[in-house]
Amino acid sequence: MILTVTLNTALDLTYRVPALTPHTTHRVTDVVERPGGKGLNVARVLAALGHETVVTGFAGGPTGEVLRALLAPLPVRDALVPTAGATRRTVAVADRATGDTTQFNEPGPHICPAEWAAFLDSYETLLGQADAVALCGSLPPGIHVGAYAELIRRSRAAGVPVLLDTSGEPLRRGIAARPDLIKPNADELAQLTGAREPLRATRDARRRGAHAVAASLGADGVLAATPDGTWQATPPAPVRGNPTGAGDSAVAGLLSGLVEDLPWPQRLARAVALATATVLAPAAGEFDAGAYEELLPRVQVATA
């Protein structure tokens, strides 16, 4: 079983409009709702790849009820912890004319100490069943900035490999707890290390505590620095579409490759193919299965 943790879950809304023009009124042509937050997106892709997956984190209020109702038919197990505050929403406005997407993210609910304690109890129980853990996304208000570092230490104590995908100070604190893998994007990596050159930055991040680093470089694919070597995987051609969830699909590719014990080049090819297929999908957090199968053998992986 793979466990994904989303402390700041969200109800993802995708609005499609003919063209997005500032200072005007828009007629939305269609609306798609999905249970969201980075870890839930990861779980959905893992389940589509055939992995048993459990999601945990927090959900509350009317928005949380909608999220859990949308989650129920999916092939993932819901282990979300109730919270008094309302789950946030994210809104992606997809412009049909340009193919670009504009994103709006609400803050999450305040998590009280009793809710955090309840989550930790559940997390410890779930670790006993897990083959790997993904810790994903931002921290909602009320949770201390070292929360991911605490969860990494608990995972390591249980002997469960852990992937961390967050940013800012939670990433800085978390990397010091020595996660097995971190998956920053280029900006997050630069903020962490102070280095803008990706290869130098990934190696610096390893020195700071990460066992391996896989950095998302947008159209340039994924650059990974690992104990076994350094590689860059690139998509066969640039694509345009909705990038929401592409990084989460890359995480699913990396994490599934970890539990399947694939060589790093195969993990990276899977991550890039899934991310690219997610950009091509019409709704946030989904991937185009046909595009994935077509892209996977065409991803270029080279030693960096």
CA nearest neighbour of 211 among 123, 125, 132: 132
Residue 190 neighbours by CB under 8 Å, 6+ apart: 196, 201
Q: Provide the terminal-to-terminal Cα distance of the chain, rounded to the nearest Å.
A: 32
Question: Which of 95, 204, 248, 288 is an active site residue?
Answer: 248
Alpha-carbon distance 298 to 73, whole Å?
33
The residue to which tokens 């980075």 are assigned: 38
Task: Report CA 125 to chain centroid distance, whole Å.
Answer: 22
Alpha-carbon distance 83 to 212, whole Å?
34
* Helix/strand/coil for 173: helix
Alpha-carbon distance 172 to 166, whole Å?
9
Q: Is 248 a catalytic residue?
A: yes
Catalytic residues, by residue number, are 248
